[in-house]
Amino acid sequence: SQHFSNLRQHFSFPSIFIYGHTSSGKTYVMQTLLSTLQLPHVFVNCVEYFTSRLLLEEILIKLQSCSGTEQTSPVRCDSLNDFVRLFKQAVASQELQDQTLYIVLDRAEQLREMEANILPAFLRLQELTDTNVTVVLLSEIVWELFRPNTGCFEPFTIYFPDYSIGHLQKILTQNHPPEYSADFYAAYINILLGVFYMVCRDLKELRHLAALNFAKYCEPVVRGEANERDTRKLWKNIEPHLKKAMQTVYLREISSSQWERLQHDGGEPGQLKGLSAHTHVELPYYSKFLLIAAYLASYNPVRTDKRFFLKHHGKIRKTNFMKKHEKTSNHLLGPKPFPLDRLLAILYSIVDERVAPTANIFSQITSLVTLQLLSMVGQNDQLDGPRYKCTVSLDFIRAVAR
Partner 1 sequence: MPWCFHICIDECSLCLQKIQEDLNKQLLENLVGFLSRSHSDFQEKTTEWTCRMKFREIPTAALVLGVNVTDHDLTFRGLSGILQDNITPYVALLEAKDCPGIKNLMQKLMGQLMKCDIDVDSLEDEDCVQVSQNRIRCSMSSLISWYESVKKVCCCKKRNSSSRHWQSPPVVVIFKDMESFTTKVLQDFIVISSQHIHELPLVLIFGIATSPMIIHRLLPHSVSSLLCIELFQSLSCKEHLSTIIDKLLLTSQFPFKVGEKVLQVLINIFLYHDFSVQNFIKGFQLCIVEHFYSQPLSVLCCQLVDTKKRACSLSHDQCENIRKLPSFRRYVEKQESGRQVALLTNDSFLKEETVKLLEDLHVYHENYVLILRCLHVFTSSLPKYPLGKQIRELHCACLENRVWETEEYESSLQLARMLNKTDLVTMLQQCVEILMSSSGKEFDKTSEKLKEFLTQFQNLEASQEQDMSVLSQKELQKKTDLYHLQKTLLELKESRRSKKLTKFEMLRFEVVDYIDSLVRKYLIPADDRTLHEVVYFNTASVLREHLNAAPRTALHTALNNPHWYLKCDGGGISNKAPDICIAYKLHLECGRLINLVDWLEAFSTVVMAAEEPNADAASSDQVDDTIHARFIRAISELELLGFIKPSKQKTDHVARLTWGGC
Site for partner 1 in 125-154 (CB under 8 A): none
CA 42 to each of CA 269, 280, 359: distance values in angstroms, whole numbers, following the listed order: 46, 50, 58
What minimum distance in Å lies between the beta carbon of 247 and partner 1? 14
Determine which residue in the list 361, 377, 387, 389 makes contact with partner 1, applying CB under 8 A. Answer: 361
* Residue 222 in the binding site for partner 1 (CB under 8 A): no
* Residue 241 in the binding site for partner 1 (CB under 8 A): no
* Residue 12 in the binding site for partner 1 (CB under 8 A): no
In the complex with partner 1, the residue whose CB is nearer, 105 or 128, is 105
In the complex with partner 1, the residue whose CB is nearer, 33 or 371, is 371
Determine which residue in the list 5, 6, 9, 22 makes contact with partner 1, applying CB under 8 A. Answer: 22
* Residue 321 in the binding site for partner 1 (CB under 8 A): no
What minimum distance in Å lies between the beta carbon of 359 and partner 1? 4
In the complex with partner 1, the residue whose CB is nearer, 95 or 179, is 179
Site for partner 1 in 67-96 (CB under 8 A): 74
What minimum distance in Å lies between the beta carbon of 203 and partner 1? 10
Determine which residue in the list 370, 378, 395, 402 makes contact with partner 1, applying CB under 8 A. Answer: 370
Determine which residue in the list 141, 165, 251, 322 makes contact with partner 1, applying CB under 8 A. Answer: 251
Determine which residue in the list 17, 58, 133, 234 makes contact with partner 1, applying CB under 8 A. Answer: 58
Site for partner 1 in 166-185 (CB under 8 A): 175, 177-179
| 3-class SS string, the chain | CHHHHCCCCCCCCCEEEEEECCCCCHHHHHHHHHHHCCCCEEEEECCCCCCHHHHHHHHHHHHHCCCCCCCCCCCCCCCHHHHHHHHHHHHHHHCCCCCCEEEEEECHHHHHHCCCCHHHHHHCHHHHHCCCEEEEEEECCCHHHCCCCCCCCCCEEEEECCCCHHHHHHHHHHCCCCCCCHHHHHHHHHHHHHHHCCCCCCHHHHHHHHHHHHHHHHHHHHHCCCCCCCHHHHHHHHHHHHHHHHHCCCCCCCCHHHHHHHHHHCCCHHHCCCHHHCCCCCCCHHHHHHHHHHHHHHHCCHHHHHHHHCCCCCCCCCCHHHHHHHHHHHHHHCCCCEEHHHHHHHHHHHCCCCCCCCHHHHHHHHHHHHCCCEEEECCCCCCCCCEEEECCCHHHHHHHHC
Q: Which stretch binds partner 1 (CB under 8 A): 3-11, 262-270, 299-307, 377-385?
A: 377-385
Site for partner 1 in 266-285 (CB under 8 A): 273, 275-276, 278-285
Determine which residue in the list 221, 336, 367, 389 makes contact with partner 1, applying CB under 8 A. Answer: 367
Catalog residues that contact partner 1 under the rule CB under 8 A. 22, 45, 47-51, 54, 57-58, 74, 175, 177-179, 202, 204-205, 207-208, 210-212, 214-215, 251-252, 255-258, 273, 275-276, 278-287, 341, 345, 356-364, 367, 370-373, 383-385
